[in-house]
Amino acid sequence: MSGGGYRAMLFHTGALWRLNELGWLSKISTFSSVSGGSIAAGVLAHAWPDLQFENGFANNFSDKVVAPIRALARTRLDVPVTLRAMAVPWRSAGEELARVYANHLFGDCCLKDLDPASPQFVFTATNLQDGALWWFFRQNGPHGDIPLATAVAASSAFPPVLSPVIFRDPLSAEVGRKIVLSDAGVYDNLGLDPVEGHATVLVSDAGKRMKVKRKINRNWGQQLLRVLDIIDNQVRELRRGALLKSYVEKEFAGAYWGTYVDLENFELADSLTAPVELTHKLAETPTRLTKLPEVSQERLINWGYAACDAGMRRWVDTEAAAPDGFPFPAVGVG
């Protein structure tokens, strides 16, 4: 599950909703998540022991997963967290973000407390010290004492305002050695590394696309920002291109769906109605952790649900029945 702020969190919630209906949620062995996707994955991991699965379907998914995610989507986090961090100089914005996640979602749950009968949840972050990917997952030992809220905050610590998350490395022989982490999207916004070697890979992508600009400012500052956008866009496109090539060459099975897909390309006669001119507007929802109107939340969830449905029924579960409609039928996707 990719990054993308609350936009990604809600889009992936819709995808998880459809996977649950299809009976696939209970089949998944590993959830790898990035940034906004890690918020949704964290809520799912925290709720897993309370999910009531019958014939592979969790009948209380909406109460245990959708409801807390939507409650968070009604909460403005990025600006208040940044301001509080500025007021408390000995605590980084990322650490403040972890504190907020704990208050709203996870309490004092640590990685070692995640249900051992659940799938493996891998929350990825970027190590700013060596430029490598950092993984948080359920484990015993010193790293198991890391709070779930810290793992999710590190994965979603969007730089520079919500970054970094800093904690002491409990395995280091060097006294006081600290790990400095930032948003996983800096390294890989699809979170593909942890699922290498799996036979079936399902990818839900709510990442951004670089905006086309006809006029480019010549001053150094704005040119630099544009160059950074291009570098970021190149990394995303290389990752996505490599993924799609792996599907074509049958290195693994699975499906890719994202906020920018056109459902007509899945060639299903009974896919949900999702005009591309409307879904692209949802795809361009700002990448922030700030409160969204109820109707925007519902449309993003609907869009994730519809995109996942098309990808799964076209490429993975071809015998599955079409859904009766959107989770929130009154609003559609726009």
| DSSP-derived secondary structure for 16-63 | HHHHHHTT-GGG--EEEEETHHHHHHHHHHHHGGG--EETTEETTHII
Structure tokens at 57: 């379907």
Amino acid at 176: G
**What is the structure's pLDDT at 175?**
67
**What percent of the chain is modeled with pLDDT above 70?**
98
pLDDT at 44 over 70: yes
132 is in which domain, residue-wise? 5-316
48-52, 75-79, 325-329: least confident range? 75-79
Can you count the helices (H) and strands (E) in the chain?
A: 10, 9
| 31 part of a folded domain | yes
| 323 part of a folded domain | no
pLDDT at 90 over 80: no
**What is the structure's pLDDT at 220?**
81
| 189 part of a folded domain | yes
Banded pLDDT at 223 (limits 50, 70, 90): confident
pTM: 0.94
| 322 part of a folded domain | no
| 324 part of a folded domain | no
pLDDT digits (tens, 9 = 90+) for 264-314: 999 999 999 999 999 999 999 998 899 999 999 999 999 999 999 999 999
Angle in degrees, CA 40, 46, 47, rounded to 5: 90
The pairing of strands 253-258 and 200-205 is parallel
* Average predicted confidence (pLDDT) for the chain: 92
| 95 part of a folded domain | yes
pLDDT at 210 over 70: no
| 63 part of a folded domain | yes
Banded pLDDT at 8 (limits 50, 70, 90): very high
| 289 part of a folded domain | yes
Between residues 207 and 319, the one the model is more confident about: 319
**What is the structure's pLDDT at 15?**
98
Q: What are the φ/ψ torsions at residue 71 (nearest 5 degrees)?
A: -65, -40
Q: What are the φ/ψ torsions at residue 91 (nearest 5 degrees)?
A: -125, 125
Rounded average pLDDT over 162-176: 79
As for how many domains the chain has, the answer is 1
Banded pLDDT at 161 (limits 50, 70, 90): confident
CATH number at residue 13: 3.40.1090
Rounded average pLDDT over 236-255: 91
Q: How far apart are CA 179 and CA 158, in angstroms?
A: 16
